[in-house]
Amino acid sequence: MAKWRNFRKPSSAGKPKYEIDHAAFVTGLHVFADGACEPNPGPGGWGVAVYRDGHEVASDHGGDADTTNNRMELTGLLKGIEAAKALLAPATLWCDSQYAVKGTNEWRHGWKKNGWQRGGANADPKNRILLNVDLWQAIDAALSGADQIIVKWVKGHAGVVGNERADELSNLGIAAVIRSYTQGEETGGYLTAQYQRIMGG
């Protein structure tokens, strides 16, 4: 498990500085998940990279032509959970999205208790709508009985090899979606919702 040193004294700019013990990723099973969207909303991709004792042993990526960054982050996390479960051993799943990690470790339980809605019973109905509820429910189901998986946050673009690789894979997912769309492969499945409406889809 990676050792995170707590915040150091503020730097001259007043911002705390993270230090990552990169050697901690050299042993054990680590799954890195990421998602991206360019522009947001627009074509998006997700990526997952699996490392055993510091060596990449598996990877996967995919995408959607009409999505959001948060949906791709959650899709990457879900695919990462599925990959971690397949390892049949304790694994740490790393994601650089606070939304995905905090939602999984903290907020998810309250949402589930409230019938997959945000806020309490007295909250404004408009504010109770939980975005991406389908993915949150899938993540909850995937984590059921998966006590061997720990989901943790990792700072993005900080030189952590697995995180950089998952980011690369998510961009490959975007590229594959765009390539399929521009080349006319399975065009119907890659049209944005706007163009599907225009074309009567």
**Tens digit of pLDDT per residue, the chain (201 long)?**
343 333 233 444 566 666 788 888 899 999 999 999 999 999 999 999 999 999 999 999 999 999 999 999 999 999 999 999 999 999 999 999 999 999 999 999 999 999 999 876 666 777 789 999 999 999 999 999 999 999 999 999 999 999 999 999 999 999 999 998 887 654 444 344 543 443 344
3-state class (DSSP) for residue 191: coil
CATH topology of domain 24-105+149-198: Nucleotidyltransferase; domain 5 (3.30.420)
Question: 137 with 109: CB under 8 angstroms?
Answer: no
Domain residue limits, the chain: 24-105+149-198
What are the φ and ψ backbone dihedral angles of 47, each rounded to 5 degrees? -145, 145
Question: 49 with 56: CB under 8 angstroms?
Answer: yes
**Residues that are catalytic:** 34-35, 73, 96, 157, 167
